[in-house]
Amino acid sequence: METNLVLEGTKFMFLGMGTVFVFLVIMIVATNVASKIINRFFPEPVSIPKEETQNTQNNKKIVAAITAAIMHHRQG
Amino acid sequence: MKIFLVKLITLFALLGFVGASANEHEAAPEAQVTEKQETYVGKDFSLMVKDFLKTTGVNAILNPDPNELSATGKPMSDFHKGWGRVLMILVTFLIFWLAIKKGFEPLLLLPIGFGGLLANIPVADIAGPHGFLGVIFQAGLSNELFPILIFMGVGAMTDFGPLLSNPKTALLGGAAQFGIFGTLVGAVALSQYTDIFHFTLQQASAISIIGGADGPTSIFIATNLAPELLGAIAVASYSYMALVPIIQPPIMKALTTDKERRIKMTTLRHVSRIEKLIFPLLVLTLSILVLPDSTPLIGAFMFGNFLKESGVVDRLSDTMQNAMINIVTIMLGLGVGSKLAADQFLVPDTLAILLLGSLAFSVGTAAGVIMAKIMNMFPGNKINPLIGSAGVSAVPMAARVSNKVGMEYDRTNMLLMHAMGPNVAGVIGSAVAAGVLLSIFK
């Protein structure tokens, strides 16, 4: 067995690292594309904004009440 | 009720009949056994005691049996039959100490250590083909079943969220695989230019996969390419994984500037459930297209993850994460331990494997950090190079180390979730690297 092992090992290294990087780059691109598609066409039904609208409504009511109170106070 | 009873009785009668006919078939060898027993003749009591003393462990260690073969059926030197075993039993005590007192991966090192202890018992031949360690080894290690099952459990424990929210950090997990291939070159150079070691390319590849910092992958590759080195490779792999908090920080600090270590990364975006559900299928599809040789590992990993993310089979995913992985860990540890028999472990190669393993870990860590620095040269959100070291799998230990080192310089800089991205990408990366090595030697 007189093959140059170190040379063989170096070939392995280039092939291996090349494959790992190519695989991961394709994976990154595919993931980005998939995420874009999913978020555009199947956006997650978000429950948080609903609460926010409720909150803002509540806030509005509170603001209205406070303004009314102030008005009342000033008039009184 | 009566009908049921009648049925039951018929069933037993049938079983009895089948059993009886089976007995008839076995009757011939049984007769021989009884014949042998009949040849037993009464012995003088002193002779009996003398014969018994010959079967003790003390005698086996002091006067090795010249006809004894190793668990793999090869002749052994007297050293490996006698004092080598004592030495190995002491080594397993050292492993116990490391696991219990120092907290080095006790979940694996304890079963491995105890398996090693049992495998080095003379006379009993527990690691032999008919001993229970040998049976465990045959059942799940020589056919690579156990590492695959572990991979399923790890998959069910993995959250790809951090990776999905910042996919480019996966490149760090790729760069860290340089530890594997750099060490491969180192290992073949060692056997080419020294006379002590003669590693074939297969053996060199199996050793270098330690740099993947992934126990199951190491075992998978070692059983495939170099089963004779399995014990040393598994022990090195798991011990270095335990040593991650000691090996990595100096390398990370040496390669980064103070300013780089303080880089704050942008907060991770929210990842939807469908994204998480699609990702395992996406990666598996890619590996089918690019590298089918890596699909046993990636397939099992993604299966576990898919069940977890599906959210409808919590029972199964829970079993994988807990019961199954625990049971398999016990078996895997004992099976690997059976390879700690003196004749297989006390060889010069082990020393080289331990050295090359630590080299693989260090090179992988350095490559990950350097890759992060290279990526920072390009426009876009900056990456804290400290998370580069998490690219060597070792989930989640390596990510915790990144976080800890980052906090040393800026108390408010939480890197843990950022580091989980390259960390899980490292698992995929080492599985791909393993697939490449397998495909080369096909």
Point out which residues pair with B96 in neighbouring strands: none
Same domain, A38 and A25: yes
In this structure, are A35 and A53 located in the same domain? no
Q: How many CB atoms lie within 10 A of CB A21?
A: 18
Å from A67 to nearest chain B CA? 38
Between residues B94 and B41, the one the model is more confident about = B94
Positive/negative CA dihedral, B394, B399, B402, B405? negative
pLDDT tens figures, B102-138 = 888 888 889 999 999 999 998 888 998 899 999 999 9
Q: Could you give the 3-state DSSP secondary structure of residue B183? A: helix
* Backbone phi, psi, residue B75, to 5°: -70, 150
Compute chain B's Rg from CA coordinates.
26
B341 within 8 A of B71, measured Cβ to Cβ? yes
Whether the ω angle into residue B396 lies within 30 degrees of 0, i.e. cis, is yes
> What pLDDT sits at residue B222?
93
Residues A22 and A1 in one domain: yes
Residues A20, B177: C-beta atoms closer than 8 Å:
yes
With a CB cutoff of 8 Å and minimum separation 6, the contacts of A67 are: none
> What is the count of structural domains for chain A?
2
Looking at residue B27, its pLDDT comes to 47
Q: Which of B22-26, B91-95, B305-309, B415-419 comes out lowest in average pLDDT?
A: B22-26
Task: Mark whether A39 and A4 lie in a shared domain.
Answer: yes
pLDDT tens digits, one per residue of B6-41 = 665 665 655 555 444 444 454 445 555 555 556 677
Partner residue opposite A13 with nearest CB, options B173, B181, B286 = B181
**Using one digit for the tens of pLDDT, what is the confidence trace for A3-20?**
788 898 999 999 999 999
Residue B254 has pLDDT above 90, yes or no: yes
For residue A45, the distance in angstroms to the closest alpha carbon of chain B comes to 10
Instruction: List, in sequence order, every beta strand (DSSP E) within B188-275.
Output: none
Distance CA B386, CA B377 (A): 16
- Per-residue pLDDT reduced to its tens digit, B389-437: 999 988 888 999 999 999 999 999 999 999 999 999 999 999 999 999 9
Query: pLDDT for B170-225, tens place per residue?
Result: 999 999 999 999 999 999 998 888 888 889 999 999 999 998 888 899 999 999 99
Q: In this structure, are A38 and A52 located in the same domain? A: no
A56 and A67 both lie in a single domain: yes
Q: How many other C-beta atoms are found inside a 10 Å radius of the C-beta of residue B62?
A: 10
- How wide is the angle at C-alpha B254 spanned by C-alphas B248 and B255, nearest 5°? 95
Q: A58: domain range?
A: 47-76
Domain boundaries, given as residue ranges, for chain B: 132-440
Q: According to DSSP H, which parts of B338-415 are helical?
A: 342-345, 348-375, 397-409
Q: Measured between beta carbons, which residues in chain B are less than 8 angstroms from residue A16? A: 177, 180-181, 184, 433, 436-437
B-chain CB neighbours of A11 within 8 Å are: none
3-state helix, strand, coil in chain A (%, to 5): 85, 0, 15
Query: Closest partner residue to B273 among A16, A28, A44, by Cβ?
Result: A44
Residue B64: the pLDDT is: 84
Instruction: Give me the residue from A4, A21, A32 closest to B167, CB to CB.
Output: A32
Q: Is A37 on the interface with B (CB under 8 A)?
A: no
**pLDDT tens digits, one per residue of B129-167:** 899 999 999 999 888 899 999 999 999 999 999 999 999
> Would you state the pLDDT for residue B4?
62
The reply to whether residue B178 touches residue A17, judged by beta carbons under 8 angstroms, is: yes
Does residue A51 share a domain with residue A36?
no
Q: How many CB atoms lie within 10 A of CB A26?
A: 15
**Rounded-to-10 torsion of CA B106, B107, B113, B114:** 120
**Interface touch B282/A32, C-beta < 8 Å:** no
Residue B311, Ramachandran bin (φ over 0: left; ψ between -120 and 50: alpha; else beta): left
Q: Which of B13-27, B35-49, B73-87 has the largest mean confidence? A: B73-87
Q: Are residues A31 and A52 in the same domain?
A: no
Min CA distance, A54 vs chain B (Å)? Answer: 23
CA angle A22, A26, A30 (to 5 degrees): 170
Quote the pLDDT of residue B7: 67
What is the per-residue DSSP string for B288-356? HHH-GGGHHHHHHHHHHHHHHHHSS-HHHHHHIIIIIHHHHHHHHHHHHHGGG-HHHHSSHHHHHHHHH
Residues A66 and A40 in one domain: no
Contacts of B197 (CB under 8 A, 6+ apart): B190, B191, B348, B349, B352
